[in-house]
Chains A and B, each alone.
Chain A
Amino acid sequence: MSMYKVAVIGDKDSILGFKALGAVTYPVTSVEEAARTLNGIVRERYAVVCITEAVAEKIGPQLEELNKKKLPAVVLIPNNQGTLGLGMLQIKKNAERAIGADILFGKEGR
């Protein structure tokens, strides 16, 4: 079985810890840099790409493209300033698409 790597994209302060775990970290500061990094990642053998929500927010369309493929799997993670709720929003969107109604978050009274 071939091995795949794990990539982490985000601002430097948030993702440095992942480096200690052996994940490949890509610190990015600008939108262009993030887009370029992501392009590079797609070409290599990565199974999981963690992206901080702050970065993911800016390159949304590109991520959606990536979501349609089987690999890599994209996970949104909060950065060190806390979560933006994008990850939860994605779950909600998926639920709405499949079921036609929001079943998970509806009860909380939005």
Chain B
Amino acid sequence: MEIRVNPTRMELNRLKGRLKMAQRGHKLLKDKRDELMRKFLELIRENKTLRGKVESELSRAFANFLLARAVMSTEVLEEAVMYPLAKLELEVTELNMMSVRVPKFRASLQDEQSGSVYSYGFAATSGELDTSIATLAAVLPSLLRLAELEKAVFLLAEEIDKTRRRVNALEHVMIPQMQKTVKYISMKLDENERGALTRLMKIKDIVRGESA
């Protein structure tokens, strides 16, 4: 299954250069894949434990919230959370992880002066709501980190997939094909050379026979 090429010395040289480059690229990509994999394993372990933690804490916050709903009327509850003290805004920076760009979030949470997360007076609301919101506020940094991690894990997985495809394509298709072609050309060139040699010997014989 060699590529159709002219069996010439120029073609042979060109191919040899390409083969060398493919082999170097293959090695580099393989290293890249290994490093990506190492990073990925690190991240996905953290991702798993963090998700477990966040999920259980969120469930706890929700349970408290359910209690708050039960003891308060819907109107009061909605009124209580209607105007938050601060808008939750994120500063997004980019982190370069093996040339995979992953986002990084930093929150500017809470009112700086009071340090409080409660957007309501304590008179009309129940204690359950306080607990619920305190739990939620506590879980928020982890939640943001989780968002960051899951994105990074997803992007890394994609990159690993892509890199692995390239490595495999080089290893199992490109490089063997080129090696085969190089072999084909050099065989052909050798054959031509032998052909030329025998032809010369034959002619020499004929010439000698005539002169004798």
Contacts and interface: CB of A to CB of B under 8 A. Distances in A.
Interface of A: 1-6, 13-14, 16-23, 47-48, 50, 67-68, 70-71, 73-75, 77-80, 82-83, 87-88, 90-91, 94-95, 97-99, 103-104
A97 B84 contact: no
Nearest to A68: B158
Interface residues on B, range: 35 or more
B39 to A, nearest CB: 10
A14 B150 CA distance: 22
B157 A5 contact: no
A47 B201 CA distance: 81
B81 A16 contact: yes
Interface of B: 37, 40-41, 44-45, 47-48, 51-52, 54-55, 58-59, 61-63, 65-66, 69, 77-78, 80-82, 84-93, 101-103, 105, 108-109, 117-120, 132-133, 136-137, 140, 143-144, 146-148, 150-151, 153-158, 160-161
A79 B66 CA distance: 11
Given A17-B132, A98-B157, A104-B44, A48 B90 contact: yes
Given A70-B101, A98-B40, A17 B87 contact: no
A68 B154 CA distance: 8
A64 to B, nearest CB: 10
Contacts of B63: 80
Contacts of B109: 21-22
A68 B108 CA distance: 26
A90 B150 contact: yes
Contacts, number: 150
B117 to A, nearest CB: 6
B205 to A, nearest CB: 65
Nearest to B87: A22
A32 B79 CA distance: 27
B132 A21 contact: no
A48 B80 contact: no
A103 B50 CA distance: 17
B92 A78 contact: no
Most chain B CB neighbours (cut-off 10 Å) among A2, A73, A91: A73
A59 B165 CA distance: 30
A20 B144 contact: no
B118 A20 contact: yes
Given A6-B90, A67-B154, A91-B44, A75 B137 contact: no
B136 A73 contact: no
